[in-house]
Each structure stands twice: as structure tokens, then as C-alpha cells.
Structure 1
Amino acid sequence: MADSSVPPTVAPYIAYENPAKAIEWLVNTFGFTTLGLFDDGQGNVYHAELKIGDHGLIMINPANAGLRLGEPRALGAATAGTFVRVETDTEVDALHARAVAGGAEILLPPESKPHDSYEFTCQDPQGHVWTIATYRTALG
């Protein structure tokens, strides 16, 4: 029987060519914390769970680990992006600066959008697309 104390959650499963480097980048750049890290005993990460804020969860796996998940640089394009909501414009600007310093390619610079959001979009060093935003519309 499933544990009913754990609420249903949707978490992106993101494939990286080098999961260890990706985890380091996400922790240092966006402030994720590592909840679980599983390796083969030789430092090769085969699964990781990272958290941001109170509710954001992502899972990291190696590209082509039998899941038909590829790494964007190898595919020539990302097939999805990950959205991270923050509270303030100041947080967006600070994370933008950290993304630039961490080697991200800025796809859309920080700007106010008509749907009540201040945001930027970047591509991380291994090609995944991230949008950091104050998006408020769906939250009332």
C-alpha cells in the first residue's frame, strides 16, 4: 500500500550527459539542495533528487540510461524547459547574475511580461532550458 502521507507530486526527470556536473551547477547557481544522490561507487551518478524552495522537486539521471531521454546538446534542441517560480524581481535578477557567472547562455533577458511576471530564460551549460520568474497570474 502506498504511503498516504506523501502528497502526489509532479517532478521533471532531466537527463544530463554529466549528472555530477549538472548537480553542482544547479546547487551553486539556482540554490537547489540535494535530497538523494545515488552513484555506482566510482563517482558516476545514476540518479539524484534535488529540491528548490518548499515544493520544487527535480530528478536527474544520465542521458541515454535506457529511458530514451537525451541530452539537448546531443539532440540539437531541448524538448522541454523547467520553470522555477521565485517571490521577487530582486531574486530573478540575482539568479540571472548567478546564471551568467555560471556559464549559462541567456536566451531571454530579465523583463516584465504582460502576464504579471518578471522573468528570464537561460540554457544551462549542458543545454537544458530554465525559466526563472515571479509568475503570479495563476496564484491569484
Structure 2
Amino acid sequence: MTSQNKAAPNKAAEAAAAQGVHSLSPHLVCRDARKAIDFYKTALGAEELIVLPAPDGKIMHACLRINGSSVMLVDENVGCGAASPQHLGGSPVTLHLIVDDADAVAARAVAAGAKIVMPVADQFWGDRYGVIADPFGHQWSVATPGENAPRSAEELQAAARKAFAEMSAGS
């Protein structure tokens, strides 16, 4: 990183960090955020930092800690521009979670109601990796970094070429 690209100290980010919130956090819109919070606690070991219900009981703001990172949630309110993936017919975003045991996390998530999108398996880039869809329309990739991962861009490109060639030969 050059000195031109180096950001100045961010006092707002420092203040947020003091409250357990990262300076960049996903903010998920969920149909039934309370159930989503319970799912994330069961499936991903989430810890509630704050849950603020609106007068009607819906969640107007929640912040969880998942694997050391802050994740915010709100109940769907289409009239206010907060549409869930279920309302939109899906989401192009996948949240990436690095864990010690991708197989165990995926299994726990499935037991809590998630569906497998891509089974956990060893990948050419070196991770043990898979993708789940939670019951609220959000996709999560879970990965355990491998010890024999390609080290350079050239090694990674060679591993990708080999993996794609094998996939093409098998189809």
C-alpha cells in the first residue's frame, strides 16, 4: 500500500469498535428478524450485542457478533425500502465465514434449518469450502483454510486450470 492510499485514522470507526461493531458490517434484511437471530445463534454461534424492537414488536435494529464480526439485522419493511431476499426472489450476495471446521458448521446450520447450496469439499484454492442458504434467503460460504493452499498467483492459476479441465472432462 502506498502512502497515497493509506487512510487517515477513522475516529468514527474507533468509536464503533469500542462498542463491538466493525467499520464495515453486513446489514441483513430478514423476514422475521427475531427468528433469524435465533437461527444465527443456533447455526453459527452468534452472540446478541443489541436487539431493538419497534413498538409493533418487529426488529428495527439488531447487531450480532458472528465469529468475531458484527452483523446487523432489521425486519423486512418493503414500504420503507427494506426488502428481504425472499421478497426480491434471492440475493446476489454471499457472506463468507472462515471457521475452524467448515463441515461441522455446515452440518449445524443444516440441522437448524439451512439448505446445502454447495457441499463442503476440498477446493483447488486450498480451502475446505461449501455454501449454505439460511431460511431467510441469505447465502453463507463456510471455509476452513487448507494447509496446502497455492502460495502464488501463478500456482493458483495453474490449480484453477487443472480443476476446470477436470470438470470439463467429467461433464
Q: Kindly indicate which of the two structures has a greater share of residues assigned to helix.
A: 2
In 1: Cα distance, 2:103 partner to 2:47 partner: 20
Contact in 1 for aligned 2:42/2:109 (Cα 8 Å): no
Quote the residue 2:76 is aligned against: 63
Task: Extract unaligned runs of 5+ from structure 2.
Answer: 1-10, 153-171
Which residue among 114, 118, 123 is the counterpart of 1:104?
114
Task: Extract unaligned runs of 5+ from structure 1.
Answer: none
Q: Deviations over 1:29-74 (max 9, x none)?
A: 11010111101255321110000233x1110011236663421122
In 2: Cα distance, 1:127 partner to 1:65 partner: 15
Q: Kindly indicate which of the two structures has a greater share of residues assigned to strand.
A: 1
Quote the residue 1:39 is aligned against: 53
Amino acid at match of 2:53: D
Which residue among 128, 131, 134 is the counterpart of 2:141?
131
Q: Which runs of 4+ in 1 moved over 6 A?
A: none
Contact in 1 for aligned 2:128/2:145 (Cα 8 Å): yes
Instruction: Say which structure, 1 or 2, has more relative contact order (CA 8 Å, 6+ apart).
Output: 1
Q: Deviations over 1:73-126 (max 9, x none)?
A: 22112121111111x3xx211111111111211000011111121111011111
What's the TM-score, normalizing by structure 1?
0.83
Q: 1:5 to 1:70 in 2, by over 3 A?
A: closer
Aligned residues: 134
Contact in 1 for aligned 2:85/2:91 (Cα 8 Å): yes
What's the TM-score, normalizing by structure 2?
0.69
Contact in 1 for aligned 2:13/2:23 (Cα 8 Å): no
Amino acid at match of 1:119: Y
Identity of aligned residues (%): 28
Contact in 2 for aligned 1:72/1:79 (Cα 8 Å): no
Quote the residue 2:86 is aligned against: 73
Determine which structure has more spread, i.e. the larger CA radius of gyration.
2
In 1: Cα distance, 2:30 partner to 2:103 partner: 26
